[in-house]
Structure 1
Amino acid sequence: MGKQTGHRSLVYGYFLEYGKMRKGFLFGLIIIFTLVVETICLSQENSRVQISLFSSRDGLSDSRITVLFKDSRGYLWVGTANGLNRYDGYGFRKYAHRFRDTATIAGNCIRDIQEDSQGNLWILTDRGVCRKDINKEEFVHFFSAKENQKTNDTGVTHLLVTGSGEVWLSGLSGLQRFDKRENRFVKISGQGEHGDGRNRTGLNNTSFLCDTAGGFYVLSAGGEKVLAHYEVPEAGKIHFITPAFFTEKLIIGSEKGLFLYDPLDRETILLNIPGRENAKVTAFYPEKKRVWLAIDGAIYSLGPGQDFPQKRYTAPELQNTRITSVWRDRTGILWVGTGKGLVKICEKHSPFTLWPVVSSKERTRGAQVSAVLSQDTRIWAGTVGDGIYLLDRTTGKVLRHYYAEALDSMSRMTLKKVYCFLQDKRGLVWTGTENGLKVFNRRKNSFIPAGDYFGIKLPDTLPVFSMDTTFDGDIWFGSAGEVYRLAGNMQYLKKYTFQKKPASSDSLPGIYTICQTPDTRIWVGGDNFLGRIEPVFNEIIVLNDFPEEEMNIYRILGSSPDTLWVVTDKGLGMITVNPFSFTVFEDEALTNTSFYAGIMDRRKTIWLGSGNGLVRYNTGFGDFGAMKADFDGELHFNPGGQYVSPEGAVFFGGDGFVLGFHPDSLLKSSSFPKVVIESVRYLSGKDWNDAPVADKIIIRSENLNLLELAFKALDFTDPAGNRIMYMIRGDDDQWHIIPGTKKVYLTDLRNRT
């Protein structure tokens, strides 16, 4: 398969203070940087699944995964049987216990990881509980109420950190709660205020903690006290409890299967999975309206309208091993911990739709789509030599084929070759053909000459290669060396005639594109030709300063009065109007191909249709991206086959197809990835010094010469495609791209404001 492409940005801010300590001078520097995440995917399927396996060969401290947790900053924490790991999308950072070093993690066998309201991590190990503060690399050790310093295994089996920051433990030594004033765990009675279990406590606002004897505790909404304790002997050893989103009951996963439990009636119902009798649930991840489950080497989900879990994913990476943990992040990636390693399951839904257009004459060949127009639930597809196809946008079926329609006894025109479409402000569909300008007559359900439709005299026998409608509603259309202006009221027709470059040539250029810029100028381009019309002064200007001697211009995209983007057979070009300059870009994505179609979407991104695929150019950041398709055969786009609908959808026509997508759908999720500062170093004199990493970084130095900031973009879908850009407020007027090292070096700091 290919990749999926799109971009999104979000601004994060960090405040850095530095100055001379002795004089008490502090100088403020604010860095604001933005993240652009890009991935690329073309697929005929509705979705596809990518599965990756990370093991000790990829940097994990151990391949035997015990627990997974993603913190509020975006890091994925991976607990193993031999050490803790932090994954940032680029690699793993290991944390291991060192003998007699109380600043390291308490033990190497990680049993659970949770986060409190301050962003600190609480980690349950085989040698006790420890806490890692959000901005520190050291660990603080705590011991349970019954143990002493010499105890190797605390007997604690479950850890719970509530939303309010209360920390609870359960295990062989009973139930314990962390006392913040005494900075230690104290033993708590597990009977609870409603020990008989006959009172529903608002299940969605409570917390649950398993015990070691086939039961669980229910804690208050704030997590300060125990409300009840329930015993469920039918379930055996319980792995998890979560409220059921479809009923006022609890879902319990245990060593004996999946159960639905009613705490009021103490009724336990086994949720059978067809074909999986006595299935063991080994891991789960609850969402608001869905629960993800690990059952006998496969991943299941239980959602609305389902009576039992449905299998979602199975793969060799998940089989013949025990699944110990499941986590699904906001980008839709499912992380699975197994005895073989960390499994990443990424399901991508293709934002692209392909509508086949099969030739009516040769069923084995696709029609060459050279013009596209989307209108409500229909798509007009004009072809070269095969007329016009009207497609159903939802089903892709051909609703009507308009071909070789004789309009009078002389058969003076047909609809064989179609070059362009246009929908005017009244909703009428226009088309330019080899035999003139046509308008769709809804009453007759056919295309008729525009002159006949409006009862005016038009050059209906000339080929019409291009059309555009201007701000005032006028229709402009181009032919061989001529451009016509038809007033919106259909009462006025003006002709502008161009000579081909060079002026001594007798042949006239084909006008392939017409574009009006915000200053009302009309730009036209075509067969080795570029010109401009000044409607106010009725002036025609031919521009001869081409980057190359021979160049066909297929599309002009006007983004401003001063800058134009030009799609040529040599690549993408940019025109600066005053003073005039014409530049053609060079990029790996542009080599060994010719470009025929181009469109600019509402985000000012340019999409180019070439002879062998689709290319994207980001005008804001000045980079190209080639998208290779995995359709049956190459995607070959044709001149003129492009369209942007009023709602922003982009359409391209090619050999045997119409391709459509909405640029907004290329955004991979509704949540933006985090950008974090990994480290801060500064050069004071001749020595490098480390500064503590926090949202507010304070540096006090006698002589600050150089500042180094290392960033990470915590997006795991395609980490290699992540790019970070930064700007210094009040100092920069443009964004700076951070290189592949993801580090920024700032100098001359005294002069920065």
Structure 2
Amino acid sequence: MIIYRVFLTINFSVQNSAKELSFHCKYNICVFFGLKAIFSILAKLEWNVMFESFKGKRTHLNLLWFLTYVGLLMNNPVYGSSVVPIIKQLSINEGISNSRITTIFQDSRGFLWVGTEDGLNRYDGYEFREYKHDPLDSTTISGNFIQSIIETPDGNIWVGTKDNGIAIWERKTNSFNSLYSLLHDKIQLSESDILGMAENNGFVWAVTPNYLVKIGVNLELITEYNHYNNVFKSGRYNSYPVVFRQDKEVWIGSKDGLLIFDLKKETFSRFQSNGIFMNDDISTLLFAEDSTVYVGCDSGLKKINLKTNELSYIWAEDSQVGYVSINCIVKSLDDEFWLGTQRGVELYKFPYSSHSVFNESEIGWEPLQDMQITSMLFDRSGILWVGTKNRGLVKVILAEPKFHSISASSNTPFNLNTYNFTAVMVDKDGVLWLGTDCDGLYRIDKEYKTARHYNVNHNLEYGFEDKVNCILEGEDGFLWLGTPYGIFKVNKSTGIVKEFNYAGSIEFANLLRHNSINDLLMDRLGDIWIATNFGLYKYDKEKIISFFEDTGNPEEASGLCSDVVNVLHEDKQGWMWIGTKKGVNYLKRAGERFSRIKNIQGEKLQLSDNDIISFGEGKDNVIWIGTRSGLSYYDKTKLKAGFFNNKKVLEQTMICNVLLDDYNRIWIGANKGIYYITSDGKVFTFTKVDGLPGYAFNTRSA
């Protein structure tokens, strides 16, 4: 069973200074899509999705919903689900050493290594670490102009540089050992301009202007084989491909065409078709199958039939001469060929005879069309990384997005006056109800794709917003609505909205009409609990009972921790949990006194913060407590409180919503995105790169 909850987000934008924030009043409602896609990064976890029908209460859930400022995100998108890539540009401002990218490589541990014309960079998904040459430190990289990167079986990274040999980054020591054309302790290279490298069976094969060099990964053996080089011709590329074919041959792209080295005979030959040598300047080679190799070169994209040695052209559309220079080729998981060219990113789909530049609607970001692409890589998660000549590194997420939206900008059938939602509920009939920040209530029928609007408070003066803070489905066929100006009820059959009669009490009518209703909860006895900015109330169908903060001796206090009650939760054993501005209260059974969990000055901390804004419950008798500064918990078995201590991620993070799925995994909507905590305490973060439309989630919205 997948969790069914709602998160609310607020979109702020910084203008002029960090202190000047501009509030965007239009929001949208979002539903999380594609949990299986997310769990692809958690490959070691089992994921078996089970669906269970929704029963109306907040504790019976079958989807994961998020309210954000971009749209309604659904796991069954039916309102315009075209895939638009998520694109992010990374340049000097993001910490990369230089915006001229030369090569991209992903190592066995998932790190991305980015070579530039001025330094080597390692990217961990969050930040870059820069490696540059220091002439006073022999353990630094030998040169800053990077031309090729590979990894050897021992986990070391070999870096080919321009005119400074091979720099070997040793993982154990986090330092470099370099091979120059000058004397080395064990071996010596004849040339230091490393144009390309590949690893095979414990040997590194490196190409220099005149040699193919075979080097043992233990640096104890070196052999150099002279290859053809037209000294009167200059190459246009900084690096060239080195590709093994069936452990029999090494295919090398060069400025003088295609060179083939026979591993058994240890001899070179030049590829020719119909008796004519191929003299193209070759930037990239891609073996699509045993009998076909695609060649990217200065004269375009070509295809070689290895059985017949026939060479054919794949034409470039919208080119006056019929071709464009190809700088790199990569193949996606769905067998599409992505080309990096002088005019941008292009796509070739087999078996068509031409390739073309993406238009703006396809790629989602027009500047990619005009960039000179130098290198590309599909990482193991399917993300496309694009290196450019002078605009840095571009990250392109092409997979089906995890989120689909219904918003003012999407192809939604619902014509709503506002997309600023503050509450959501699906009733027993499967109808979606949306409370807004300024325009009352909406009833959404997804099957018939219709929306009905309800004005909630007809007595508001001009300038006051018809806001709904929370929605509860009662047992009497009515919806209960908590607003900043009291409680209202909606007859689902007739659509008539009336104010709650407050059990006929003028006193409570005055108290609650001038009070913000923060949360509503119906317990297992059918009583309605009302959380407000001034006290906690219970309606038992006949009368209303109030509960307030204890102002007497704190050590003997048995009332609420604070009159400001933010959130309510009834656990599986019937305990009532009350989150206040100054701590947690819980009530085991009716008639008993409130118990407290809170931080007291001078005593050991029990919670990460006293301002409680959310609750969550798992299978292990633990209540998770979201605070304004971190995630806390109370273990009912051990009668012990504590907090989740992860300084890198959740410390001082506002935990707006806490949800636990059937596998006791914790989902958190926070002010910095969505977090996922596994049973062993590992934390995964989801951000805009993963498709989140925003970072800041509203409190009391689950």
Deviations for 1:635-681, whole angstroms, at most 9, x for unmatched residues? 876542x23xxxxxxxxxxxxxxxxxxxxxxxxxxxxxxxxxxxxxx
Partners of 1:378 and 1:392 within 8 A in 2: yes
Q: Displacement, 1:127?
A: 5.7
TM-score normalised to the size of structure 2?
Answer: 0.54
Using the TM superposition, give the Cα deviation of residue 9 of structure 1 relative to its aligned residue in structure 2, in angstroms: 6.3
Shift of 1:477: 3.3
**Which residue does 1:334 correspond to in 2?**
385
Q: Distance in 2 between matches of 1:279 and 1:391?
A: 52
1:534 counterpart = 2:588: yes
Paired position in structure 2 for 1:295: 341
1:124 deviates by 3.0
Q: Equivalent residue for 1:346?
A: 395
Change (3 A) 1:387 1:465: same
Q: Which amino acid in 1 is paired with 2:89?
A: V
Alignment of 1:103-114 (within 5 A): 103=187, 107-114=191-198
2:341 pairs with 1:257: no
**In structure 1, what is the equivalent of residue 441 of structure 2?**
388
Question: Is the Cα contact below 8 Å between 1:282 and 1:295 reproduced in 2?
Answer: yes
Q: d(CA) in 2 for partners of 1:430 and 1:552? A: 26
Q: Distance in 2 between matches of 1:260 and 1:102?
A: 42
For residue 599 of structure 1, the aligned residue among 655, 658, 662 is: 658
TM-score, normalised to structure 1, is 0.51
Residue 285, structure 1, aligned to residue 333, structure 2? no
Say which structure, 1 or 2, has more relative contact order (CA 8 Å, 6+ apart).
1
Number of residues of Structure 1 aligned to a counterpart in Structure 2: 517
* Structure 2 segments unaligned to the other structure (5+ residues): 1-12, 15-37, 46-67, 72-84, 99-115, 120-130, 133-140, 229-239, 410-416, 503-507, 603-608
Larger radius of gyration: 1
For 2:550 and 2:404, how far apart are their aligned partners in 1?
40
Q: Is the 8 A contact 2:531 2:567 kept in 1?
A: no
CA contact 1:239–1:254 (8 Å) conserved in 2? yes
Runs of 5+ consecutive residues of structure 1 not aligned to the other structure? 13-40, 148-156, 180-184, 189-210, 216-229, 359-364, 453-458, 487-491, 644-753
Correspondence 1:579-598 to 2 at 5 A = 579=639, 581=641, 597-598=656-657
The residue matched to 1:99 in structure 2 has which SS?
coil
Q: What's the CA shift for 1:144? A: 4.0
Return closer, same or farther for 1:91/1:451 CA change in 2, 3 Å cut-off: farther
The AA in structure 1 aligned to 2:357 is Q
Check the 8 A contact 1:545/1:581 in 2, yes or no. no
Aligned to 1:272: 316
Indicate conservation of the 8 Å contact 1:518/1:560, yes or no.
no
Aligned partner of 2:3 in structure 1 is none
Q: Write the distance in 1 (CA, Å) between the matches of 2:525 and 2:327.
A: 66
Deviations 1:292-343 (A, max 9, x none): 3332364434347985232579689975xxx7754443253536497x8x96
Q: Secondary structure at the match of 1:532?
A: strand
The offset of 1:271, in angstroms, is 0.7
Does residue 141 in structure 1 map to residue 222 in structure 2?
yes
Counterpart-to-counterpart distance in 2, 1:261 and 1:167: 16
Alignment map for 1:28-427 (pairs within 5 Å): 46-51=86-91, 52=96, 53=98, 54-57=116-119, 58-59=131-132, 61-62=142-143, 64-69=145-150, 77-82=158-163, 83-85=165-167, 94-99=178-183, 103=187, 107-116=191-200, 118=201, 120-126=203-209, 128-133=211-216, 136-138=217-219, 140-144=221-225, 159-162=242-245, 164-168=246-250, 176-179=261-264, 185-187=265-267, 212=270, 214-215=272-273, 236=280, 239-240=283-284, 242=286, 251-259=294-302, 266=310, 268-275=312-319, 277=321, 278-288=323-333, 289-296=335-342, 298-303=344-349, 307-310=354-357, 326-331=376-381, 332=383, 334=385, 336=387, 344-347=393-396, 369-373=421-425, 380-384=433-437, 386-389=439-442, 399-404=451-456, 416-422=466-472
Spell out the pairing of 1:548-697 with structure 2 (5 A cutoff): 552-559=611-618, 563-568=622-627, 573-575=632-634, 578-579=638-639, 581=641, 597-600=656-659, 602=661, 603-609=665-671, 621=681, 638-640=698-700, 642-643=701-702
Match runs of 1:468-547 below 5 Å: 468=521, 477-479=529-531, 481-482=535-536, 484=538, 498-502=547-551, 509=563, 511-526=565-580, 528=582, 530-535=584-589, 539-543=592-596, 545-547=598-600
Q: Which moved more, 1:376-385 or 1:268-277?
A: 376-385
Give the whole-Å Cα distance in 1 for the aligned partners of 2:181 and 2:694: 55
Identity of aligned residues (%): 14
Structure 1 equivalent of residue 21 of structure 2: none
For 1:586 and 1:326, the matched residues in 2 are separated by 35
Shift in CA distance, 617/282, structure 1 to aligned 2, threshold 3 Å: closer
Amino acid across the alignment from 2:247 = G
- Counterpart contact for 1:237–1:255, Cα < 8 Å: yes
The residue aligned with 1:436 is 487
Q: Of Structure 1 and Structure 2, which has the larger fraction of its residues in strand?
A: 1
- What is the DSSP-based 3-state SS (H/G/I as helix, E as strand, rest coil) of the residue aligned with 2:346? strand
Task: Give 1:388's aligned amino acid.
Answer: L
Q: Are residues 388 and 128 of structure 1, via their aligned partners in 2, closer, same or farther at CA, if it must alter by over 3 Å?
A: same
In the alignment, the residues of structure 1 paired with residue 633 and residue 408 of structure 2 have an alpha-carbon distance, to the nearest angstrom, of 33
**CA separation of 1:309 and 1:316: change in aligned 2, threshold 3 A:** closer
CA offsets 1:107-141 (integer angstroms, 9 cap, x no match)? 4222332233x4653333346444455xx441522
Q: Deviations over 1:546-600 (max 9, x none)?
A: 4369955332333466644434456655445555557798979999x99583333
The 3-state SS of whatever aligns with 1:418 is coil
One of 503, 509, 518 as aligned partner of 1:465? 518
Could you tell me how far apart the structure 1 residues matched to 2:117 and 2:356 are? Answer: 29
2: CA distance between counterparts of 1:424 and 1:131?
A: 77
Deviations 1:48-91 (A, max 9, x none): 22244333455264455544546678776543332224579988
Cα deviation 1:679-724 (Å, max 9, x = unaligned): xxxxxxxxxxxxxxxxxxxxxxxxxxxxxxxxxxxxxxxxxxxxxx
Corresponding residue number in structure 2 for 1:693:
none
What is the Cα-based RMSD across aligned positions, in Å?
A: 6.2
Q: Aligned runs of 1:717-736 on 2, under 5 Å?
A: none
| Paired residue secondary structure (1:109) | coil
CA contact (8 A) 1:570 1:584 kept: no
AA in 1 matched with 2:317: I
Deviation track 1:22-48 (CA, whole Å, cap 9, x = no partner) reads xxxxxxxxxxxxxxxxxxx99999432
In structure 2, what residue type is equivalent to 1:55? E
